[in-house]
Amino acid sequence: MLLKRLLVWFAEIVCQVVLLTLVFPPILDFFEEGPGRYSTATVVTDLKDVAFVVAFFMIISGYLITTAVVGVLFRPASIWKYALIIAALFVAHTEVFVIAGGRARGGILLDQFTLQAVGAFAVFACASAGSQFLRKWQ
């Protein structure tokens, strides 16, 4: 049972990295350059860089450790409770990561809020899908 939870947690993390990597570049570009200026010529390079940043965030902020503890050891029976806990952990770790980086000293930035909201939705989707898969797998 523990091995199944660990495998599902790992699949959820991979899903999260992929979704966040695909979603973040257009949002960041929108706020930096305005709408309609997202260049598809550099998508592969941008996605590789964004995937590195997302993985770096997950490792440095402690997100992997806390989600592993919740996902493997204390996974609630309810799909929605688990997904909400994981989404809340994402927002909390993002906030800590941004504050540690010094970007949030001037208050909540619009792009920071948007990244947290979209990221929490992506994480919620991966966590709920993982919980449903685990429930069927048992």
The pLDDT, as a whole number, for residue 10 is: 95
pTM summary value:
0.81
- Per-residue pLDDT of 15-64, as tens digits, reads 999 999 888 877 666 545 555 555 555 566 677 888 888 899 899 989 99
92 has a pLDDT exceeding 70:
yes
Handedness of CA 74, 15, 30, 42 (dihedral sign): positive
Cβ atoms of 130 and 11 within 8 Å: the answer is yes
Percent of the chain scoring above 70 in pLDDT? 78
